[in-house]
Structure 1
Amino acid sequence: MSVLSVYHEDHPEQPLKVLTHLEDIASTLADVGVQLERWAASAPIAAGASQDEVIAAYRPQIDKLMGECGYVAVDVLSITRDHPQRAELRAKFLDEHRHAEDEVRFFVAGRGLFTLHIGAMVYAVLCEKNDLISVPAGTRHWFDMGEEPHFVAIRLFNNPEGWAAQYTGEDIAGRFPRLED
């Protein structure tokens, strides 16, 4: 189940509200320019499917989004508990950063916690299987895959070079709850 916890940046110990209904989550995020929606595969996906198989299963939705938003590249990121670089990859995403392009992720399997810092508010979005989140360019955020990660995500990019972060140097991410395994 997807969950949105909304905090004031000065009070990481207690959310102001917690939402669990997709419509409420999507509406609250839309108010700050973030898109959240649900996708369904057009073909079944087997565990351990290749990048090409995963992309093929969601090709109609990917093509629609690429056409509407001008994304030029797509790939699949798959990280599991036994990934040899899981700790390094987790650390790479945990500090507050922003991108010069939208950050678009669709969770084919598993889950991850996107935390967005917008104005004085912090929006912690637990994304799970079938969730698509689109974080606008320039939005301060961080991502936690947990200590025992398990997710497969389709990533769409405006930049053919892929993921490029600009770290803010702020320590805010360390003050907010992480993804519990």
Structure 2
Amino acid sequence: MSSLSVYHVSSPEIPNKVLTHLEDIASTLAEQGVRFDRWQAAAKIQPGASQEEVIAAYQEQIDKLMTERGYLTVDVVSLNSDNLQKTELRTKLINEHRCAEDVVRFFVAGRGLYSLHIGDYVYAVLCEKNDLISVPAGTPHWFDMGEHPHFVAIRLSNNPEGRVANFTGDDIASRFPRLED
């Protein structure tokens, strides 16, 4: 189940609030300029579907978002616990960083934990199948895929070369809960 846990930076062990209803999550994140939504596939997606098949199943929503926000590229990223680079990828993304462009992910399958450091608060968003999150450019954040990752996500981008993470050097991510496998 998708959830949002809001922490004050001074108390990473106890969230101020935990939300599990889509409307509550979406409205709380919208106050911070973050979009959270749910999409449904237009066609059933089979395990092992190609990138083209995955994109085609959500083409209408993708086209609308690309037109609305001016995104230039779309692709699919898939990672599971068999990936030999899973530890390296997790170690990189689990540190706080900023991106010069929006971070837009739609979870087709699996899950991941996006933590957003906004002002004096950390918004930990557990994204699962059918969840769309759009984090505005420049927002400090980190992503935890867990020790045993499993997710398929559609990525939208303004930069055809891909997103570039600029690490803040702050160790804040190490003080907050990780994704439990």
Question: With structure 2 as the length reference, what TM-score do the two structures score?
Answer: 0.99
CA positional deviation for 1:102: 0.3
Structure 1 portions without partners, runs of 5+: none
Deviations 1:116-146 (A, max 9, x none): 0000000000000000000000000000000
Amino acid paired to 1:51: Q
Amino acid at match of 2:76: V
Cα shift at 1:180: 0.3
**Alignment match, 1:174:** 174
Distance of 1:75 and 1:9 partners within structure 2:
34
Give the aligned partner of residue 13 of structure 1.
13
Which has the larger displacement, 170-179 or 86-95?
Answer: 86-95
Shift of 1:91: 1.0
- Alignment coverage as a number of residue pairs: 181
Counterparts of 2:75 and 2:85 in 1: how far apart (Å)? 19
| In structure 2, distance between residues paired with 1:69 and 1:156 | 10
Q: Which residue is 1:64 aligned to? A: 64
Moved beyond 4 Å, runs of 4+: none
- Asked if 1:54 is matched to 2:54, the reply is yes
Alpha-carbon offset, residue 84 of structure 1: 1.2
Matched residue SS, 1:122: strand
The 10-residue stretch of structure 1 (125-134 or 86-95) with the greater mean CA deviation from structure 2: 86-95
TM-score by length of 1: 0.99
Structure 2 CA distance for aligned equivalents of residues 73 and 161 of structure 1: 9
What secondary structure does 1:115 align onto? strand
Task: Return the letter of the residue paired with 1:12.
Answer: P
Which amino acid is 1:110 matched to? G
Partners of 1:56 and 1:162 in 2: how far apart? 21
Distance 1:56 1:134 in 2: 20
Secondary structure at the counterpart of residue 92 of structure 1: helix
Give secondary structure in 2 for the equivalent of 1:67: helix
1:41 is matched with which residue? Answer: 41
Pairs within 5 Å for 1:97-108: 97-108=97-108
Percent of aligned pairs sharing the same letter: 72
CA distance, structure 1, for counterparts of residue 69 and residue 150 of structure 2: 28
SS in 1 for 2:82: coil
5+ residue gaps in structure 2?
none
C-alpha separation in 2, matches of 1:151 and 1:137? 23
